[in-house]
Amino acid sequence: MTAPLLVEHQADRVVATLNRPDKRNAIDQEMIDALHALCADLEADPRILILTGSESVFAAGADIAQLRERRAEDARKAINAMAFIRINELPMPVIAAVSGYALGGGAELAFAADIRIATPSLKIGNPETGLGIMAAAGATWRLPEIVGHALASELLLTGRVLDADQALAAGIVSNIVPVQDLLTAAHAIADRIAANDPLATQHTKRALRAPRHEHPEIERELQAELFESDEKMRRMTEFLERKSRR
């Protein structure tokens, strides 16, 4: 049986490729299980995560055949939502490298990433209401945080799909790169992150994710821990020594 998620482990990062090409990478229970297993690994051994799909499709949505059979009890389990929350809460940053279609659950998986880049073929949106359901794996609260309430309301209520330029203008993605350069660009972002102090990176992500009412207290406490770290002393000492040599 073909694995629904191809995982490449490196010292400071993991590349996970959605792998259901015959189903346009539709997100089914097996893929969700694989994402949970990946999260367990990255929670125990924090590394940067790059999520990607194929050149033509990131994920065309949740598996409709499975969704059609689910009932109220399944909805209350928030099957996809819980996996995407876990991805978003990973200690180190998550980069979504998206090409082609990212619809429904595929869009919501991309929204769970910290950084999103895409190719010119991007088509991203949430057409769930046209299928008699709603976007319930994060879009109703993550998308307003990303693009603002007015645009999120229009997109979710109409099911309008954005192309790459529209997604860039809306702030859904931070960069558009040629398809042949997508993973290279994702790795370049990961390289810049990996060059920084891992603990400082993790604390920055925690502060970014914290609700407004936790600020500025959360910065004070996280910064206090960093101020006492050996890595802070080492990096600042090296900086001052380089400056003095110049």
d(CA 240, CA 227): 16
pLDDT of residue 246: 83
Contact partners, residue 6, CB within 8 Å, separation at least 6: 16, 17, 19
* 13 vs 66 pLDDT, higher one: 13
**Domains along the chain with CATH numbers:** 5-194 (3.90.226.10), 198-245 (no CATH)
Q: What is the mean pLDDT of residues 193-215?
A: 97
Q: Is the pLDDT of residue 1 over 90?
A: no
Q: What average pLDDT does the chain have?
A: 97
Coil, helix or strand at residue 59: strand
pLDDT of residue 89: 98
Confidence band of 65 (pLDDT split at 50, 70, 90): confident
pLDDT of residue 64: 87
238 is catalytic: no
**Catalytic residue of the set 8, 128, 219, 241:** 128
pLDDT of residue 218: 98
d(CA 148, CA 203): 25
* Nearest alpha carbon to residue 111 among 142, 140, 90: 142
Strand partners, 6: 17
* Nearest alpha carbon to residue 17 among 57, 75, 65: 57
Condensed to tens digits (0 to 9), the pLDDT of residues 126-155 reads: 999 999 999 999 999 999 999 999 999 999
Q: What is the mean pLDDT of residues 38-51?
A: 98
Residue 189 Cα to chain centre, angstroms? 13
Condensed to tens digits (0 to 9), the pLDDT of residues 80-137 reads: 999 999 999 999 999 999 999 999 999 999 999 999 999 999 999 999 999 999 999 9
Q: Is the pLDDT of residue 183 over 90?
A: yes
Instruction: Looking at the chain, list the stretches that DSSP marks H as alpha helix, in order from N- to C-terminal side.
Output: 29-44, 64-69, 72-77, 79-88, 105-111, 139-147, 149-158, 164-170, 182-194, 198-209, 217-227, 230-245
**Catalytic residue of the set 8, 43, 108, 217:** 108
128 is catalytic: yes
Residue 231 Cα to chain centre, angstroms? 27
Long-range contacts of 43-48 (CB under 8 A, 24+ apart): 43/90, 43/91, 46/90, 46/91, 46/92, 46/198, 46/202, 47/10, 47/11, 47/12, 47/13, 47/14, 47/92, 48/12, 48/13, 48/14, 48/92, 48/93, 48/94, 48/95, 48/190, 48/193, 48/194
Candidate from 59-73, 74-88, 153-167 with smallest mean pLDDT: 59-73
pLDDT of residue 63: 85
pLDDT of residue 182: 98
